[in-house]
């Protein structure tokens, strides 16, 4: 193994560190493939050549806004540059036309107001500080100038800030492609207000993020010849259904459950909910509230957003009846029945929740009980009813809750798409693909193929 170019005794370098990932220091001596380094933390360490990288001694302490300007584009150089900018509250950095965002874990409203959008509208790419608005503006101008559809890919691990970045991109595109409101709601208003609806039913608090998307999303915004938004469609994939029934401490279930429990008294009574601590699907974790978030206010804002995207009062009522019914479903426990390997609701409390769930679902109570405690096996000649033991009945209960919630989410997406409407005569589109943080493209070939088919429709990909 040869010594890296330009590394000699006295060189400033980066070396791998088990605690800090990388530390900087000065080379004391080189002996074959091993280097002795005096780090700036006061330690002397020995490292393999493969774990050492040259440090740019002339690098600005403020970093650079485009990392293609770095003297050494290696991992420690990139991380140090991002840290230097982050320490100055600069959370965005370019690498060419790729925008890297570092989650500040706090609100920075001044970065996303109308005044900021006006600035980026009048600027060429790279003239102003790195920003999602610049990426969206570049995509819009490429579409208009060259007559080609565009796509913006938003990717990163859970908690990186993809959801917020996607919302900022959509806000800017709505700003550029908006039109004065006439009768009713404009397409861009419906596109933007679809976000809080989908977040209420598809986002949850995780260990890393208070508003983490637990589903993937592709938003297709269509434009007419004049560059005005003429239609849109939302496609979702891989909703995390298991979260409906299993929540790890200190995470939360989907926001909508807590919103409904904190709703105004008349709605709490109507949907027969109350303290979230009383529901099994919520009390598996000790986290029930979020700092700085008023779940009652979030509930009212979600209802308002539903109005804007075209979900009627009667449909909203049905949606929240289903949400409440799922909570009651989770409180049904089972014990052994009279027959061998059979089960029945455990006690009066379980029967109360069974009855309440049936009322909210608007179905027959006995039919709901049978669906949980029995399984129908279809054979060639007849249907055989098989009793389930308490453990199997519990699994059946959870399976029903997950399926119902998943279908409710799909119905919401379809309803939003129908309300927004697609324009068959649109000339161009800009796709915003939000890939959430725990899929594996090496193993999930089905998802990879789907995403590629979407992106191939919009040939110019900007990340």
pLDDT digits (tens, 9 = 90+) for 97-146: 999 999 888 888 899 999 999 999 989 999 999 999 999 999 999 999 99
pLDDT of residue 438: 47
Mean pLDDT, to the nearest integer, of 213-217? Answer: 92
Q: Within its chain, how far is the Cα of 248 from the centroid?
A: 18
Q: Is 209 a catalytic residue?
A: yes
- Residue 173's closest CA among 142, 231, 145, 133? 133
Kindly tell me if the per-residue pLDDT of 448 is higher than 70. Answer: no
What residues contact residue 355 under an 8 Å CB cut-off, 6+ apart? 365
Q: Is 213 a catalytic residue?
A: yes
DSSP β-ladder status, 334-336 and 203-204: unpaired
Mean pLDDT, to the nearest integer, of 80-88? Answer: 95
Residue tagged active-site, from 54, 151, 163, 417: 163
User: In the structure encoding, which two tokens stand for residue 426, read together?
Assistant: 């649109």
Give CA–CA dist 330/10, Å, rounded: 66
Q: Where are the alpha helices (DSSP H) in 186-338?
A: 187-202, 255-261, 265-270, 295-309, 313-329
Confidence band for 319, pLDDT divided at 50, 70 and 90 = very high
pLDDT of residue 277: 98
Q: At what angle do helices 295-309 and 187-202 cross, to 10 degrees?
A: 140
Comparing 166-180, 266-280, 288-302, which segment has the lowest mean pLDDT? 166-180
159 labelled ligand-binding: yes
39 labelled ligand-binding: no
pLDDT of residue 459: 40
Residue tagged active-site, from 195, 203, 212, 417: 212
Kindly tell me if the per-residue pLDDT of 278 is higher than 60. Answer: yes
pLDDT of residue 397: 98
Mean pLDDT, to the nearest integer, of 235-239? Answer: 92
Q: Where are the beta strands (DSSP E) in 59-162?
A: 92-95, 98-101, 150-154
pLDDT of residue 143: 96
Kindly tell me if the per-residue pLDDT of 342 is higher than 90. Answer: yes
SS3 content of the chain, % helix, strand, coil (to 5): 40, 20, 40
Confidence band for 456, pLDDT divided at 50, 70 and 90 = very low
318 labelled ligand-binding: no
Residue tagged active-site, from 11, 203, 209, 331: 209
Question: pTM here?
Answer: 0.87
Confidence band for 441, pLDDT divided at 50, 70 and 90 = very low
Confidence band for 179, pLDDT divided at 50, 70 and 90 = low
Confidence band for 3, pLDDT divided at 50, 70 and 90 = low
Kindly tell me if the per-residue pLDDT of 184 is higher than 60. Answer: no
User: In the structure encoding, which two tokens stand for residue 420, read together?
Assistant: 């927004």
Confidence band for 436, pLDDT divided at 50, 70 and 90 = low
pLDDT of residue 254: 98
Task: Please report, in angstroms and rounded to a whole number, the separation of the first and last CA atoms in the chain.
Answer: 36
Kindly tell me if the per-residue pLDDT of 69 is higher than 50. Answer: yes
Residue tagged active-site, from 129, 158, 371, 460: 158
Comparing 220-234, 310-324, 372-386, 399-413, which segment has the lowest mean pLDDT? 372-386
Q: Is 439 a catalytic residue?
A: yes
pLDDT of residue 451: 46
Q: Is 165 a catalytic residue?
A: no
Residue tagged active-site, from 54, 213, 396, 417: 213
| Cβ(47)–Cβ(33) below 8 Å | no
- Can you name the residues that pair with 325 across neighbouring β-strands? none
Q: Is 275 a catalytic residue?
A: no
- Can you name the residues that pair with 217 across neighbouring β-strands? 236, 434
Q: Dihedral of the CA atoms 438, 441, 447, 450 (nearest 10)?
A: 130
Q: Is 437 a catalytic residue?
A: yes
274 labelled ligand-binding: no
Q: Which residue has the higher pLDDT, 457 or 61?
A: 61
Residue tagged active-site, from 90, 359, 365, 439: 439
What residues contact residue 365 under an 8 Å CB cut-off, 6+ apart? 354, 355, 358, 359
What residues contact residue 203 under an 8 Å CB cut-off, 6+ apart? 163, 211, 212, 213, 214, 254, 255
Confidence band for 302, pLDDT divided at 50, 70 and 90 = very high
157 labelled ligand-binding: yes
Using one digit for the tens of pLDDT, what is the confidence trace for 23-60? 999 999 999 889 999 998 889 999 998 889 999 999 99
Mean pLDDT, to the nearest integer, of 225-251? Answer: 94
156 labelled ligand-binding: yes
Burial 9-18 (b: 16+ CB within 10 A, else e): eebbbbbbbe
User: In the structure encoding, which two tokens stand for residue 318, read together?
Assistant: 């049905």
Comparing 158-162, 287-291, 295-299, which segment has the lowest mean pLDDT? 158-162
Kindly tell me if the per-residue pLDDT of 285 is higher than 50. Answer: yes
Kindly tell me if the per-residue pLDDT of 214 is higher than 60. Answer: yes
Contacts of 309-314 with C-beta under 8 Å, sequence gap 24+, read 309/185, 309/190, 309/193, 309/194, 309/197, 309/415, 309/416, 309/419, 309/420, 310/185, 310/190, 310/415, 310/416, 310/418, 310/419, 310/420, 311/197, 311/412, 311/415, 311/416, 311/419
Kindly tell me if the per-residue pLDDT of 331 is higher than 80. Answer: yes
Kindly tell me if the per-residue pLDDT of 378 is higher than 50. Answer: yes
Domains of the chain as residue ranges with CATH: 12-54 (2.30.30.360), 67-242+419-462 (3.40.850.10), 328-416 (1.20.120.720)
Kindly tell me if the per-residue pLDDT of 257 is higher than 50. Answer: yes
**What does pLDDT average to over the chain?**
90
Mean pLDDT, to the nearest integer, of 202-228? Answer: 93
Mean pLDDT, to the nearest integer, of 65-92? Answer: 95
């Amino acid at each position: 193994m040869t010594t890296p170019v330009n590394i000699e005794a006295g060189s400033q370098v980066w070396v791998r560190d088990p605690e800090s990932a990388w530390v900087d220091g000065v080379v004391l001596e080189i002996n074959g493939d091993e280097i002795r380094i005096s780090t700036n933390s006061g330690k002397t360490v020995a490292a393999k050549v493969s774990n050492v990288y040259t440090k740019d001694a002339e690098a600005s302490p403020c970093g650079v806004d485009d990392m293609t300007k770095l003297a050494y584009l290696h991992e420690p150089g990139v991380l140090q540059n991002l840290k230097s900018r982050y320490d100055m509250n600069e959370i965005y950095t370019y690498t060419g036309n790729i925008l890297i965002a570092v989650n500040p874990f706090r609100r920075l409203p001044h970065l996303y107001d109308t005044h900021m959008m006006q600035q980026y509208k009048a600027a060429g790419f790279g003239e102003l500080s790195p920003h999602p608005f610049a990426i969206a503006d570049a995509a819009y101008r490429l579409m208009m100038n060259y007559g080609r559809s565009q796509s913006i890919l938003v990717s990163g691990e859970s908690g990186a800030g993809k959801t917020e970045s996607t919302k900022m991109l959509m806000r800017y595109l709505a700003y550029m492609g908006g039109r004065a409101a006439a009768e009713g709601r404009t397409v861009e208003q419906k596109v933007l207000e679809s976000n809080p609806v989908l977040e209420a039913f598809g986002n949850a608090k995780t260990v890393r993020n208070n508003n983490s998307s637990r589903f993937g999303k592709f938003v297709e915004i269509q434009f007419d010849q004049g560059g005005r938004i003429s239609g849109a469609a939302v496609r979702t994939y891989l909703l995390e259904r298991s979260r409906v029934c299993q929540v790890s401490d200190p995470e939360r279930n989907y926001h909508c459950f807590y919103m409904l429990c904190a709703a105004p008294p008349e709605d709490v009574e109507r949907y027969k909910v109350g303290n979230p601590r009383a529901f099994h699907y919520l009390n598996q974790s000790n986290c029930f509230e979020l700092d700085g978030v008023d779940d009652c206010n979030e509930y009212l804002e979600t209802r308002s957003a539903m109005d804007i995207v075209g979900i009627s009062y009667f449909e909203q009522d049905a949606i929240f009846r289903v949400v409440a019914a799922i909570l009651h479903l989770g409180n049904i426990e089972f014990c052994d029945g009279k027959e061998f390997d059979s089960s029945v609701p455990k006690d009066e409390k379980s029967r109360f929740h069974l009855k309440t769930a049936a009322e909210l679902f608007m179905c027959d109570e006995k039919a709901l009980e049978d669906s949980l405690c029995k399984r129908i096996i279809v054979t060639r000649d007849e249907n055989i009813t098989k009793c389930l033991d308490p453990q199997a009945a519990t699994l059946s209960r959870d399976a029903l809750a997950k399926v119902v919630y998943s279908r409710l989410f799909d119905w919401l997406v379809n309803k939003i798409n129908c309300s927004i409407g697609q324009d068959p005569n649109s000339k161009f589109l800009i796709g915003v693909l939000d890939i959430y943080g725990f899929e594996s493209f090496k193993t999930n070939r089905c998802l990879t193929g789907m995403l590629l088919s979407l992106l191939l429709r919009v040939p110019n990909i900007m990340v």
